Amino acid sequence: MCGIAGYSVGSGSHMSRTLAAQALLAGIAERGADAVGYAFGDAKSLEVHKQQTGASALLESIAVSPTATRALVHVRDYTKGHPTIPANNHPVRHGRVTGIHNGIVVNDDELFARHGFAREEPDMSVDSEAIFALVDAYGTRASVLEELFGSLAAAWVDERDPATVHLARGIGRPLWIARGRNEVLFASTRAALEVAERSLGTTLRKTEVAEGRLLSLVDGRLASERRWNPDRSFREERQLPAVRAPQEGSFCLERIAAIAAA
């Protein structure tokens, strides 16, 4: 069970990009401690940072450009693709697409073989890469997501459409968005968005994303919402608890309260 979060910000937003990323990370920190990472950028560039630690080791060193228009944040509780191989950790890059994922893609090896894809790096084996390999090859479309078998909540950015943050929710994993005047934040849980609200001193309109939805966030607004049909026959062999690293969560929540107060 991993945690995902991030945002799209419009030009009129005065939101602290760094504090928002820190708050979202603190809000999802309890969901995994095998690796942590974030990415941020504008329409011209994307900068990625990740490391094989829990969120507590990264929280206070996060630095996001004040002109960033998009960010992705992730904590990992790995199931496939050992975290000692950096490329397996999130954000995951394949070709022109960089993304984060919470869930399990069971047919990733089959998809790589069927489409003749090569792994972005030879040692990679993380199942999440299949999502971004499909998007890199065929674009962000419902039919692309419908090739995936497993559980999924994911977000990604594509160099060919740098103004957009794409969100998708399949089955088996939660996803929430929170809208302000010039910003849209997203996270695995409502509670993580509430941490961001408190830290930023603002109120946001929070909504759970329904299963089988594909959202496009552009310049701090929800630009589109499309339906897709995830394969609902998937059943996980065992249900993982959402809280995987309670000590990471409690530490990060204490620290973000102090950071926001300062």
Residue 24 DSSP label: H
pLDDT of residue 171: 97
pTM above 0.85, yes or no: yes
**CB-based contact 121:94 (threshold 8 Å):** no
pLDDT of residue 236: 87
What is the residue extent of each domain of the chain? 3-261
Strand ranges across the sheet with 213-218:
92-94, 97-105, 150-158, 164-169, 213-218, 221-227
First-to-final CA distance of the chain: 32
d(CA 260, CA 147): 42
The fold of the 3-261 domain, in CATH, is Glutamine Phosphoribosylpyrophosphate, subunit 1, domain 1 (3.60.20)
pLDDT of residue 189: 98
User: Which residues of the chain carry a pLDDT beneath 50?
Assistant: none
- Residues 6 or more apart from 8 whose CB is under 8 A from it? 69, 70, 164, 165, 183, 184, 217, 218, 219, 220, 221
Please name the residue that has the structure tokens 């909540």. Answer: 153
Instruction: Report which of 30, 35, 40 is spatially closest to residue 8, judged by C-alpha positions.
Output: 40
pLDDT of residue 67: 95
> In angstroms, how far is CA 139 from the centroid of its own chain?
18
pLDDT of residue 75: 98
DSSP annotation string for 105-173: ETTHHHHHHHHTPPPSSTT---TTHHHHHHHHHH-S-HHHHTT--EEEEEEEEETTSTTEEEEEE-SSS
pLDDT of residue 1: 82
